[in-house]
Amino acid sequence: MTATRALIVGGGPAGAAVAIELARAGLPHLLIERSRETGDALCGGFLSWRTLDTLARLGIDPDQLNPARTTTVRIFAGSRVAHAALPRPALSVSRRRLDTVLLAAAVAQGAAVERGVTVRAIEDGQVRTADGAVIAAPALFLANGKSDVRGTARPASARGADPTLGIRVRIMPPPAMARALAGQIDLYLFDRGYAGLAMQEDGSANLCMAVHRSRLQEAETPADLLAELGRAMPVLGEWVAAIAPDATIDAIANVPYGWRQTTGQAGQYRLGDQAGVIPSLAGEGMGIALASGLAAARAYRTDGAGGAAEWQQQLARTLARPIGVAGAVRRVAESRGVARLIPFAHPVLIRMLAQATRIGA
């Protein structure tokens, strides 16, 4: 058995934020990450203006991620469209780039990082890895994103009767299409789902979709669903037509949108999607991951492992408004008659909802 005073499970944005802050404070810790090389996670990629503020506190220059800014949003439903300026500039970035920059910053600060370590179970403050090792830690930071680990899994009831799947495909658009999308993010609303589209720093467009299982089953396959949506929304159809024949369509099942961890446990800080899962149309998932990681590390600096329970309850209260507002917007966005509501999507209302779905400081 090995031991560390603070163990961080997961090297994504939340885990990296904890590692940066603990390394700055000179506090003993260890971050373990299952991947040996940084991949391109399915979810995330939009960084709101509030998230850019958090990155600044972590010492990250947003231009390292993407020098281009996203300033407008367009919302499509059927043949109708609404648009508005974002409250402040945001940016889109691939998760490969975001995670690479954040982990590099943590290592540069002196963080202890071990890669290729897969966690199988967490019980009684002990972490069991795939190779049979046991790591004991009085303070545990759960930053394993949407993936659950035995012993700390979120309840099955959080998935709902008609679970949501996340689907993502990368598109390499011709120059004219890339220029048309530059500086904006597109949201496409449809019955029992929605999709987001934005240009990333590597010149690819990231098309992400959240869709209920029943809707996908009706279409049979993700490719069939994309083709169907493309026929209903011509602007999206142009992008669907640009998907390479051999493009990989990634998916993740049973995303518990709307769930929050409302109770706390001594010695256990749950971060990011392990603390609360905001509907992705809000574009604040990465913001919650980074802000919760930074806040948890600072709480640990002050109160140690014993402060985790109270901190978790406070985080749940902080997340109540953005997740609640995003959930209400999601229910409207996924309704069958959403196209009829587009004329009422005034730019001022869109900006208000964008502000209301940000995590507090």
94-110 residue pLDDT tens: 999 999 999 999 999 99
Asked if residue 281 is part of any domain, the answer here is: yes
CA distance 42 to 44: 7
* SS3 call for 344: helix
Q: What integer pLDDT is reported at residue 339 of this predicted model?
A: 79
Asked if residue 79 is part of any domain, the answer here is: yes
* SS3 call for 192: coil
Q: Which of 33-37, 119-123, 338-342 has the lowest mean pLDDT?
A: 338-342
Provide the residue range defining the domain that includes 348. Answer: 2-158+256-356
Q: What integer pLDDT is reported at residue 341 of this predicted model?
A: 79
Asked if residue 201 is part of any domain, the answer here is: no
CA distance 1 to 128: 10
Whether 42 shows a pLDDT value over 80: the answer reads no
Whether 361 shows a pLDDT value over 60: the answer reads no
Q: What integer pLDDT is reported at residue 39 of this predicted model?
A: 85
Q: Which residues pair with 121 in a beta bridge?
A: 128, 150
Model confidence band, residue 45 (pLDDT cutoffs 50, 70, 90): confident
CA distance 268 to 257: 22
Q: Which of 61-70, 262-271, 314-323, 334-343 has the lowest mean pLDDT?
A: 334-343
Tally of structural domains, the chain: 1
Model confidence band, residue 78 (pLDDT cutoffs 50, 70, 90): confident
CATH number of the domain enclosing 267 = 3.50.50.60
CA distances to 131, 151, 272 from 121, in Å: 12, 6, 19
Asked if residue 350 is part of any domain, the answer here is: yes
Beta strands 184-190 and 30-33 are unpaired
Q: What's the token pair of residue 56? A: 């600044």
**pLDDT tens, residue by residue, 133-155:** 999 999 999 999 988 999 999 98
Asked if residue 131 is part of any domain, the answer here is: yes
CA distance 124 to 126: 5
Whether 203 shows a pLDDT value over 70: the answer reads yes
**pLDDT tens, residue by residue, 230-241:** 999 999 999 999
Whether 10 shows a pLDDT value over 80: the answer reads yes
